[in-house]
């Protein structure tokens, strides 16, 4: 694990190796004037990375000349001193009179990006390994000498700070070449380094590989859950993203980290999405054997992808489960309220017409805002069919603005206000949609445990719909809309009746989607100290789920019990001996048996001894299994009798089940190992959707020429740098 001191050292090496003026050369590989400018740089980025600051205390008397990595891909030409031969593309590259390897590095970066990226990654790993090794014998607090770069090099942290600022604020890389920006830098310090796009791109790639290497070290050996989704940018380029979620066993903190945004070419079939996700898993060393679950949306392609994930996991001896985003499923239910029917009297259309009136007239919007209290004025909200709980937000905002709309209507400035009947309808629709909004908003979080809340949320939503429909004074539009929503909910998630909850996920629902709540979600709910009572789960189904938990705990206990190897006793060698006896006889049958009688006695004695050993192993294995089962049953019984953790404290703040587990993991050692694997599963695919939000701001209209690999690095670092900081601080 890389600590904070190591991180600062790496940053100092990466970003302070060159602080002279840099310019952006021409795109041509053979432009001698442009390539000659590179001579002013101290060294290329990867050469600087390959040099470590951890040198011997006694310097050698004569400085040794280092060989650049670029010579692994170039050959000199004896008859031509100004050109060298590239073995990657079989062409001559201008070497120049200066004999600078920076020109050759630029050729590899532009023409052979994969090779350049690999070499940069090697150099970064070399520095990180050197820094990690140094901490084993040097105390950073007492023996490490302060770097002289802060005294010798002007603005030593400028490049690092500039890069992070540009990533965080979605700045275009070409901004560093604007004269106004450079004037601002010079106003800070006359010696402030002036960067070009090419230098900034190299620094971006260096930072990308440094952060990626740290994440790979964090992921190693951890059990995790993953979300994945596909997206198309404004430039019509397809991308696939993955996010990783895990609980740190030392701190019991939930962490979420982005793997990046990989360009997707070709078709968008389920196997293609799975292939790109597996490519990201391979890049970060994430095996199926450690992936607890994968979460996607419930679109048909991603449902098929979920089945492929499960199949590939089994082929790789894993036990990965899949479940669809619960918010997407709830949105399918609330979509019923998005459209009008005979009972709603055109209320939804009237609401949208009212909002469009204000959105299309700045004068009308200004009058509406002026009627409200200064500092608390709000605008109407337009609902969108693809945006979660947007219909609820529209109705809630209109009800808040109702008195001000009435004032505008009295003054003659509004002639499309809703009727009293329509106001009554949206008031009732708000009540119907509110439980969905609360559930969707709560379950989309990724900094706290969400998966265990799903069964209870579904139970409360179903109960609320049934209560609204069965109310004696319920109007027709509430009964009609509520009945449709309840029918839709039952067709997607199940009815919740006795004997259906535990097994309903194995059945196929609408449009080929699995029906019901996944068993892994139900298990996670019972392992949450707030939800372990199983409220909303029928008793028989709850008993079946506890049985599944019991079996999973036994498997974990047997895997972790190191007293005896975890496997059933294997058959002895008699079977192999019998196979050997099937060959032709070595001697004639006429030979008397007494000739081999003593040897047969030896065989019989060995066979008897082996049988006794096998019986002893059988007994020992059974005793061990009985011991494990007894210990697991005792833990489960004690955990079930444990008082539940209140969902909220007296101040209304939600309690944290992970903190409860942090203080009770020694008491329930086996259950804690299963809880740490299940409670990290996100309830929705919202983490992937958030990556696409960042991608939309990064690959904007004014940055349509941004290369996919550069976009991948920018989007990755935008989320990975703060996530890495949070992990190190925890």
State pLDDT tens for residues 524-562.
Answer: 999 999 999 999 899 999 999 999 999 999 988 887 764
pLDDT tens readout for residues 499-522: 889 888 877 777 777 888 999 999
- What is the percent of the chain with per-residue pLDDT over 90, rounded to a whole number? 46
Read off φ and ψ for residue 292, nearest 5 degrees: -75, -45
Contact 258, 723 (CB under 8 A): yes
pLDDT tens readout for residues 167-202: 999 999 889 999 999 999 888 888 888 888 888 998
Closest of 388, 502, 489 to residue 438, by C-alpha: 388
Contact 537, 522 (CB under 8 A): yes
pLDDT tens readout for residues 121-155: 888 777 777 766 665 444 333 434 555 554 556 67
pLDDT for 607: 64
| Reported confidence tier of residue 50, pLDDT bands at 50, 70, 90 | very low
Sign of CA dihedral 468, 470, 474, 476: positive
Closest of 22, 24, 364 to residue 198, by C-alpha: 24
Read off φ and ψ for residue 83, nearest 5 degrees: -130, 155
pLDDT for 101: 81
Sign of CA dihedral 595, 596, 601, 602: positive
pLDDT for 1: 43
| Reported confidence tier of residue 114, pLDDT bands at 50, 70, 90 | confident
Contact 477, 343 (CB under 8 A): yes
Contact 440, 331 (CB under 8 A): yes
Say if residue 280's pLDDT is above 70. yes
pLDDT for 406: 92
Say if residue 220's pLDDT is above 60. yes
pLDDT tens readout for residues 572-602: 444 444 444 444 443 344 444 444 555 556 6
Closest of 244, 281, 238 to residue 262, by C-alpha: 238
pLDDT tens readout for residues 460-505: 999 999 999 988 888 888 899 999 999 999 999 988 899 889 888 8
| Reported confidence tier of residue 93, pLDDT bands at 50, 70, 90 | confident
pLDDT for 17: 40
Read off φ and ψ for residue 247, nearest 5 degrees: -110, 125
Q: In what order do the strands lie in the sheet with 238-247?
A: 254-264, 238-247, 224-232, 291-296, 321-324
pLDDT for 128: 74
Angle between helical axes of 454-470 and 519-527 (0-180°, round to 10)? 100
pTM: predicted TM-score of the whole model, two decimal places: 0.78
pLDDT tens readout for residues 416-447: 899 999 999 999 988 899 999 999 999 999 99
DSSP assignment of 563-615: SS-SSPPPP-THHHHHHHTTS--SS-TTS-GGGGHHHHHHHHHHHHHHHHHHH
Contact 676, 661 (CB under 8 A): yes
Tokens 């559930």, residue?
439
Closest of 671, 656, 320 to residue 520, by C-alpha: 320
Tokens 């990724």, residue?
446
pLDDT tens readout for residues 608-648: 655 555 555 556 667 777 888 888 899 999 999 999 999 88
pLDDT for 459: 94
Domain edges within the chain: 4-53+69-206, 227-309+704-729, 332-509
What is the residue-averaged pLDDT of the chain?
Answer: 81
pLDDT for 287: 95
Residue 221 backbone zone (phi > 0: left; psi -120 to 50: alpha; other: beta)? left
Kindly state the tokens that stand for 641.
């009798």
Classified as helix, coil or strand, 387 is: coil
Say if residue 85's pLDDT is above 70. yes
């Amino acid at each position: 694990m890389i600590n904070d001191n190591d991180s600062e050292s790496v940053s100092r090496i990466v970003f302070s190796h060159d602080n002279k003026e840099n310019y952006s050369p021409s795109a041509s590989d053979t432009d001698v004037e442009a390539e000659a400018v590179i001579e002013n740089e101290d060294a290329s980025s990867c050469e600087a990375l390959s040099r470590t600051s951890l040198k011997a205390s006694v310097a050698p008397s004569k400085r040794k000349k280092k060989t650049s990595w670029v010579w692994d891909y170039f050959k000199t030409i004896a008859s031509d001193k100004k050109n060298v031969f590239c073995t990657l593309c079989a062409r001559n590259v201008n070497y120049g009179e200066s004999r600078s390897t920076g020109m050759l590095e630029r050729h590899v970066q532009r023409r052979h990006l994969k090779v350049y990226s690999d070499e940069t990654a090697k150099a970064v790993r070399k520095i990180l390994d050197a820094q990690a090794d140094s901490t084993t014998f040097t105390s950073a607090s007492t023996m490490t000498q302060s770097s002289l770069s802060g005294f010798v090099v002007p603005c030593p942290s400028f490049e690092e700070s500039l890069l992070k600022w540009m990533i965080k604020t979605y700045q275009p890389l070409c901004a560093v070449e604007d004269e106004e920006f450079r004037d601002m830098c010079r106003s800070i310090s006359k010696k402030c380094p002036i960067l070009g796009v090419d230098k900034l791109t190299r620094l971006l790639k260096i930072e990308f590989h440094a952060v990626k290497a740290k994440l790979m070290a964090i992921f190693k050996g951890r059990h995790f859950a993953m979300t994945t989704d596909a997206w198309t940018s404004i430039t019509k380029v397809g991308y696939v993203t993955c996010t990783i979620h895990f609980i740190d066993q030392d701190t019991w903190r939930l962490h979420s980290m982005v793997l990046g945004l990989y360009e997707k070419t070709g078709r968008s079939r389920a196997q293609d999405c799975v292939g790109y996700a597996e490519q990201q898993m391979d890049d970060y060393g994430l095996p199926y054997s450690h992936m607890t679950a994968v979460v996607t949306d419930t679109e048909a392609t991603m449902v098929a992808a979920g089945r492929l994930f499960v199949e590939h996991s089994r082929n790789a001896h894993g036990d990965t489960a899949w479940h669809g985003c619960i918010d997407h499923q709830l949105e399918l239910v609330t979509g019923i309220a998005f459209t009008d029917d005979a009972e709603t009297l055109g209320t939804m259309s009237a609401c949208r017409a009212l909002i469009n009136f204000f959105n299309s007239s700045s004068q009308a919007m200004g009058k509406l805002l002026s009627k409200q209290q200064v500092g608390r004025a709000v605008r109407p909200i337009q609902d969108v069919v693809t945006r979660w709980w947007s219909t609820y937000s529209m109705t809630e905002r209109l009800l808040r603005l109702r008195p001000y709309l009435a004032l505008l209507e009295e003054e003659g400035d509004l002639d499309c206000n809703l009727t009293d009947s329509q106001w009554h309808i949206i008031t009732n629709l708000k009540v119907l949609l509110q439980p969905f909004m609360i559930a969707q908003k709560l379950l989309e979080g990724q900094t706290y445990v969400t998966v265990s809340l799903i069964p209870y949320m579904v139970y409360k939503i179903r109960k609320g719909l049934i209560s609204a429909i069965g109310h004696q004074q319920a109007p027709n539009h509430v009964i009609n809309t509520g009945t449709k929503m309840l029918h839709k909910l039952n067709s997607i998630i199940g009815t919740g009746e006795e004997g259906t909850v535990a097994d309903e996920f194995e059945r196929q629902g609408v449009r080929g989607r699995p029906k019901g709540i996944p068993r892994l979600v139900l298990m996670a709910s019972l392992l949450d100290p707030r939800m372990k009572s199983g409220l909303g789960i029928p008793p028989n189904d709850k008993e079946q789920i506890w049985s599944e938990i019991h079996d999973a705990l036994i498997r974990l206990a047997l895997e972790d019990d190191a007293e005896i190897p975890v496997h059933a006793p294997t058959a002895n060698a008699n079977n192999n001996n019998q196979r050997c006896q099937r060959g032709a006889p070595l001697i004639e049958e006429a030979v008397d048996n007494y000739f081999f009688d003593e040897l047969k006695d030896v065989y019989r004695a060995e066979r008897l001894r082996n049988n006794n050993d096998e019986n002893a192993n059988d007994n020992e294995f059974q005793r061990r299994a009985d011991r494990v089962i007894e210990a697991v049953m005792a833990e489960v019984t004690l955990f079930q009798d444990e008082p539940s953790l209140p969902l909220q404290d007296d101040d209304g703040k939600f309690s944290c089940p992970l903190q409860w587990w942090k203080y009770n993991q020694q008491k329930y050692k086996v259950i804690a190992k299963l809880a740490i694997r299940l409670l990290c599963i996100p309830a929705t695919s919202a983490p992937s959707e958030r990556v696409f939000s960042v991608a939309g701001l990064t690959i904007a209209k004014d940055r349509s020429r941004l290369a996919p690999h550069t976009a991948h690095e920018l989007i990755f670092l935008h989320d990975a740098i703060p996530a890495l900081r949070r992990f190190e601080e925890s």
